Structure 1
Amino acid sequence: MSSPSTYNDQGTIAADATERQSLREHVYNQFAGSVVAPIRMIGFWSAVALPFLHVPLLATGLEGSQQTVTFLSLLALNLLALLVGYPHRQR
């Protein structure tokens, strides 16, 4: 028959669990930093550059449905780029 666990055993188990959690967080942060940062950078600079593509469309006028759809698609893409790139270099 085994004796009930003592406080030291529980403390050791809790310390091991905390250490594993800390290691998981560290690995996640490394992964997030190496993958998310470039995506945010691309989103940011896309949000900066995309409005220049609107200029020729607006200068010639939105005469046909194809030009209107192109303009609205660029606008939606620009909004998406703004959402993705907004947190770039915020600290």
Structure 2
Amino acid sequence: MSGVPSTTDSLASALSRTALAPVQVVAFWSAIALPLAYLPLLAGGLETGELSLFVGLLAVHAAALVIGRDHAQE
């Protein structure tokens, strides 16, 4: 009977999908919109203070790509 999922497993799975869905939506659309923030930084040239901002922006974009990759795939 180990192959039969229990009710609590399916309930926990449904709750995690429900809770994760809004996070995936925000991450998906953020991954689409974040490259627009690169334009002003790159157009003006990257100075020392802006370099850390650009690297942080790249890290946030990478995280948004990973988190939002499964949005609306059914």
TM range (shorter): 0.7 to 0.9
Runs of at least 5 residues in structure 2 that lack an aligned partner in the other structure: none
* Percent of aligned positions that are identical: 35
Q: Deviations over 1:34-61 (max 9, x none)?
A: 1011111111011011111110000111
TM value normalised by structure 2: 0.87
Report the count of equivalent residues.
72
Partner SS state of residue 18, structure 2: helix
Structure 1 gaps of 5+ residues are 1-13
| Residue of structure 2 equivalent to 1:76 | 59
Which has the higher relative contact order, 1 or 2, with Cα contacts under 8 A spaced 6 or more apart? 2
Q: Does 1:45 align with 2:29?
A: yes
> Which protein is richer in helix relative to its size?
1
Q: Structure 2: which amino acid aligns with 1:28?
A: A
